[in-house]
Amino acid sequence: MRKLLIILFFTVCALFFKTAFAVISLELTRGISGALPIAIVPFGIEGQTPEQNIPNIVSNDLQNSGRFKVFGASHLNYFPTNVADVKWDYFRGIGTDNVVIGKVQQIGVNRYQVSFQLLDAIKGKNAPNEAIVLNQKYVVQGEELRSLAHHISDVIYQHMTGVRGIFSTRLAYILVKRPAGDKPSYVLEVSDQDGYNPKPLLISTDPIMSPSWSPNGKQIAYVSFENRKSAIYIEDVATGRRHLISESKGINGAPAWSPDGRKLALVLSKTGTPNIYLMDLTTQQLTQLTNDFYINTEPSFAPDGHSIVFTSNRSGNPQIYQLDLATRQATRVTYDGKYNARASFTPDGNHIVVLNQQSGMFNIGTLSLDSGTFRVLTNGGADTESPSMAPNGSMVLFGTYQSGKSVLGMVATDGSVQIRLPARDGDVQDPAWSPFLS
Amino acid sequence: MQLKTLAKAMLVTLSIVAVSACTHTKKNMDSTTSINDANGGGSSQVAGVGDNANYGNENASDSAKAHNKNTYYFDFDRSEVHESDLPYIYAQANYLMAHPNAKIILEGHTDPRGSREYNVGLGERRANAIASILRSKGVNPNQIRILSYGAERPAANGRTEQDFQLDRRSVAVHIQG
């Protein structure tokens, strides 16, 4: 039944949005423990039924965060839409004190008023008026309903966990199609955090890689191999306008923004081997940060901007090093496993997330920079690549494989939940999670 | 349409190369190598051949061409050249020295495992390893350009160790001469 609904949902989406069909969809692959119970009751509809089912979207968002145990439409057998109609014992009986009810009213052509309440069933049993924990009302156009649903998820998530939600953020990734007997096509796409509304930023017959969001989320730096050479571009997400940043002889790769957005760390091999440089984006001036004959790559800034981590094989195989930008001293930080690469910091700066190989599969792991404790997050069922942190530090986005195709996955940084986003058409790889966008 | 014809020509050429290759190295390895190259590696290699339809053609008059092999293989996370590829690299060197106007792009490739940008670095090391042999044999450095694609253009595009072996390679793409 649920599957049918999902299929139906995609069909409806495809019918209504010719350019906005979903390329990837969420799928839970691992269980949840210690999750917050919450009931999301189907909303009351007045007037025309809108294209987007807000409570379904909110249910999916919260469920996929790994922090909630959601009681949605399929778990409930009655659907109150007013506080006065809520039977508190019913919700307490099925195991949740948190209840979301709401309404969608059509108030014009393609115009809707959406309201929702988060209710506390413990309080509601004694004093129904005190049960309303959150109470919000919005007026939106039909095409804004989906982003409004994500916003509602953010409001509920933040209220109940104390952490800012990531449901209104976006993903950038590379979609590769390899038609038999023809050249492959590479598309740099941006989609909503749940894979909906994919939009192309660059389409090429040559590889595109390493998308990197600017800290304000307005631009993406990436590597393109157009015209048989590598080059770094920065493209404006809204306008699609782009400018060339670097096309030195050899490698131009691994762009990474400084937290203030004024500098770009990048990798150039113009001296013969890949080394890390810092470019002042105002003056285009370059400062060389590493200088040896090994592979030095994948720079990523610490949240305070005072240091970067990067990958180097100077010890014989790839490991992560931290470079103090004031002293230019680099110290090795990873020792677990024979291969550690593509490191990035958690938003609090206390951990790094890495691509790690101990033996066999490549997994996503976290390293505590204080204690040195290393933890493997993914389950080793398939190789992974390109870990990218959610801006609230709750989850890591990564590339992986399923049935011979590249797909995206997400894993909670506490390891509690793992999600797969199956590719619909082609390989989806090399993802980057956007910063908060508002 | 033109690409398709070229791809066919490439297939034929590679089979011929495979036959001659078998006299030098292990039989099984080389025949699978060549077949897979023609099928899976079409996109990047056909593009390379497209600019120089004559090179490696079965009708080519220059005997040096017929003995050439343009793809050289590597071990995981390594950039040491296989001894079995040396005769072909030397033949490449001889060809380039005999044709001073000829130019090649030495592409560097890795298998899809590991980190993408690290693989770009690794692919460059592989291409450089071939380039330094060519230079040591007397090839003019101006005839060689290095271009690492890392893991972005796999030859086999599969997930078996056999696929990975075909992916870990450097390809000499002739662009003129």
| Residue B87 reports pLDDT greater than 70 | yes
- Is the domain of A60 the same as that of A42? yes
- Give the per-residue pLDDT at A403: 85
List CB contacts (< 8 A) between A228 and chain B.
105, 147
- Is the domain of A183 the same as that of A156? no
> Looking at residue A217, which CATH number applies to its domain?
2.120.10.30
Reported as half-sphere exposure (CB side, CA atoms, 13 A), residue B43 has a value of 21
Domain count, chain B: 1
Q: Which residue has the higher pLDDT, B21 or A272?
A: A272
> Is A131 contained in some domain?
yes
- Give the per-residue pLDDT at A422: 66
> Is A12 contained in some domain?
no
| Residue B29 reports pLDDT greater than 60 | no
Q: Which residue has the higher pLDDT, B21 or B68?
A: B68
Distance CA B170, CA A41 (A): 58
Residue B57's nearest CA partner among B17, B2, B1, B100 is B17
For tokens 């294209």, what's the residue? A51
- Give the per-residue pLDDT at A379: 82
Distance CA A210, CA A201 (A): 14
- Is the domain of A236 the same as that of A381? yes
Extract the runs of DSSP E, i.e. beta strands, from B14-143: 71-73, 103-109
- Is the domain of A206 the same as that of A268? yes
Range of the domain at A375: 170-433
Give the range among A210-214, A227-231, B66-70, B125-129 with minimum mean pLDDT. B66-70
ipTM: 0.91
- Give the per-residue pLDDT at A24: 52
- Is the domain of A146 the same as that of A175? no
Predicted confidence (pLDDT) per residue in A59-69, tens digit? 999 999 989 99
> Is A138 contained in some domain?
yes
- Is the domain of A220 the same as that of A299? yes
- How close B29 comes to chain A (CA, Å)? 23
Are B124 and A298 inside 8 Å of each other by CB? no
- Of the candidates B105, B115, B148, the beta carbon closest to that of A355 is on B115
- Interval B159-164 mean pLDDT: 95
- Is the domain of A83 the same as that of A43? yes
Are B117 and A230 inside 8 Å of each other by CB? no
Task: Please identify every stretch of chain A with a pLDDT value under 70, giving residue numbers as ranges.
Answer: 1-33, 422-424
- Give the per-residue pLDDT at A26: 55
- Interval B106-111 mean pLDDT: 98
List CB contacts (< 8 A) between A318 and chain B.
77, 114-115, 118
Of A109, A132, A161, the residue that ends a domain is A161
Position B66 confidence tier, pLDDT thresholds 50, 70, 90 = very low
Burial class (CB in 10 A: 0-12, 13-18, 19+), A404: exposed
| Residue B6 reports pLDDT greater than 50 | no
- Is the domain of A384 the same as that of A316? yes
Residue A194's nearest CA partner among A36, A72, A20, A42 is A20
- CB contacts < 8 Å between A and B, how many? 101
List A418's β-bridge partners, or say none: A411
- Is the domain of A267 the same as that of A190? yes
Of A161, A193, A226, the residue that ends a domain is A161
Reported as half-sphere exposure (CB side, CA atoms, 13 A), residue A258 has a value of 16
Are B116 and A385 inside 8 Å of each other by CB? yes
> Is A6 contained in some domain?
no
- Is the domain of A321 the same as that of A242? yes
Question: Which phi and psi angles does A111 have, rounded to 5°?
Answer: -125, 135
| Residue B16 reports pLDDT greater than 80 | no
Residues 79-118, chain B, touching A (beta carbon < 8 A): 105, 112-118
Tokens of A278: 């810092």
B157 interfaces chain A, CB cutoff of 8 Å: yes
List CB contacts (< 8 A) between B39 and chain A.
none
Distance CA B153, CA A159 (A): 46
Distance CA A311, CA A372 (A): 17
Domain count, chain A: 2
- Give the per-residue pLDDT at A35: 87
* Nearest residue on chain A to B2, alpha-carbon basis: A182
Residues in contact with A256: Cβ distance below 8 Å, sequence separation at least 6, in sequence order: A212, A264, A265, A266, A298, A299, A300, A301, A308
Range of the domain at B131: 2-176
Of A138, A161, A184, the residue that ends a domain is A161
> Is A9 contained in some domain?
no
Distance CA B131, CA B139 (A): 9
| Residue B58 reports pLDDT greater than 90 | no
- How close B61 comes to chain A (CA, Å)? 29
For tokens 């490991």, what's the residue? A319
In chain A, % of residues over pLDDT 70: 92
- Residue pair B171/B44 in contact (Cβ under 8 Å)? The answer is yes
- Interval B11-30 mean pLDDT: 35
Reported as half-sphere exposure (CB side, CA atoms, 13 A), residue A127 has a value of 5
- Residue pair A344/A298 in contact (Cβ under 8 Å)? The answer is no
Question: Which phi and psi angles does A133 have, rounded to 5°?
Answer: -90, -45
- Residue pair A96/A108 in contact (Cβ under 8 Å)? The answer is no
- Give the per-residue pLDDT at A438: 81
- Is the domain of A200 the same as that of A157? no
> Looking at residue B79, which CATH number applies to its domain?
3.30.1330.60
- Give the per-residue pLDDT at A43: 97
Tokens of A192: 């909503």
